[in-house]
Amino acid sequence: MEVDKYAKELEVAVRIVHLACALCGRVQDRLLTMSSDHVMSKDDDSPVTVADLSVQATISWLLSDNFGSQNVSIVAEEDVETISKPDSAGLLEAVVNTVNESLESASKYGLRSPETILGSSKVLEAIRHCNSAGGPTGRHWVLDPVDGTLGFLRGDQYAVALALIEDGKVVLGVLGCPNYPVKTEWLNYHHQRRQTTSQGSSTTPDAWGKGCVLYARRSSGEAWLQPLISGDKILEWPNCARLIRVSSIDDPALATRCEPVERANSDHSFTAGLAHSVGLRKQPLHVHSMAKYAAIARGDAEIFMKFAKSGYKEKIWDHAAGVVIVEEAGGVVTDAGGRPLDFSKGMYLEGLDRGIIVCSGVILHEKLIEAVYASWDSSNL
């Protein structure tokens, strides 16, 4: 890959995700101190907040502004159906206000603000523009505006994930983790800590440890981390970034695995049995969202396994950004058959062999693949 290929796309994406993280931080503070129209249910009963829709609209507008709306194809999680319902006027108003509030601060992140305030029709148009189905040809931005919405609503871990796929391959990824703490052990205890603090206390990163944005470009052999900016600071580029690398631990007894907090779409009993058979002894790190990919890329954990329950299909926006960051940081990501994940089939990871295995290195990865084959016949999946 040419040295400068995707350099502009990556820089713009990182700046956009920084802005989106700030948006989420403001909304999370408000949601944790009030009950309002800002939370609704989608058709699958999962919660959707003003943050999901505002981030999607904001990122859609900024990508179109930087690269031209005719040149931007976006695959994203949210659609306008929820916000277009008759009883969602309060949510729409909140989204419009949040989008304009965020875009007003765009210059702080080296981005351009709209010349005039965006009305509801323009905001809906920006959300609606994220209607691409992806596929094996062309360029497609892949966005999960708030990955780990339940964690977001609880004041816990969540992520803003943005990736670029070209001709079916993920070529860059940016992962914003606004609540990722300085101390790894706080990943497990932040939710409990949140429950014991006063209702109005701040959830901004500075209150308990910096949030961060991680990013990588395919075939660069480098993954980077920037702390979130706060206050009136201006985002510097790229002076505030530092290289990150996966952990060098390859002994299963010393390795830490990340485990999803939600049990709805994962078979925790199978992964627990697999962990035991491989010789993992440490307690798992319970983490909402794609922050699990951040933990492995930063060297805070060594393993993440996900085996979906029957009927569940993995979406590309839940993995694309994290996969390229972990791989460029020196890690390994495959399905449970040892094959690379295929992002060329549209919105879903079609043809996935049983599950997904993310490791800090080849030795741990090989042990897990072997254990999957040994354990699979006796599983209840």
pLDDT of residue 97 exceeding 90: yes
Q: What value does the mean pLDDT take over residues 218-244? A: 89
Contacts of 251 (CB under 8 A, 6+ apart): none
pLDDT of residue 112 exceeding 90: yes
265 burial class (0-12, 13-18, 19+ CB within 10 angstroms)?
middle
Boundaries of CATH 3.30.540.10 in the chain?
A: 7-244
Q: Which CATH class is domain 252-378?
A: alpha beta
> In the structure encoding, which two tokens stand for residue 173, read together?
């990824």
Sheet holding 74-76, edge to edge: 74-76, 139-147, 159-166, 169-177, 212-217, 223-227, 242-244
Q: Which fold has domain 7-244?
A: Fructose-1,6-Bisphosphatase; Chain A, domain 1 (3.30.540)
Half-sphere exposure of 229 (CA within 13 A, CB side): 22
Q: What is the rounded distance in angstroms from the CA atom of residue 311 to the CA atom of residue 297? A: 29
Under 8 Å between Cβ of 162 and 321: yes
Q: How do residues 119-169 score in pLDDT, each as one tens digit? A: 999 999 999 999 999 999 999 999 999 999 888 888 888 999 999 999 999
Which residues are catalytically annotated? 52, 149
Please write down the HEC assignment for all residues of 55-90. Answer: HHHHHHHHHHHHHCHHHCCEEECCCCCHHHCHHHHH
Element of type H or E holding 172: strand 169-177
The pTM for the full model equals: 0.91
Q: What is the rounded distance in angstroms from the CA atom of residue 324 to the CA atom of residue 326? A: 6
Tokens 């206390």, residue located: 201
Boundaries of CATH 3.40.190.80 in the chain?
A: 252-378
Tell me the pLDDT band of 35, cut-offs 50, 70 and 90: low
Q: What value does the mean pLDDT take over residues 199-220? A: 68
**In whole angstroms, how far apart are CA 84 and each of 120, 128, 137, 244?**
11, 11, 32, 42
More confident residue, 380 or 125: 125
Under 8 Å between Cβ of 278 and 371: yes
Q: Tell whether omega for the bond before 238 is within 30 degrees of 0, i.e. cis.
A: yes
Helix (H/G/I), strand (E/B), else coil: 28 = helix
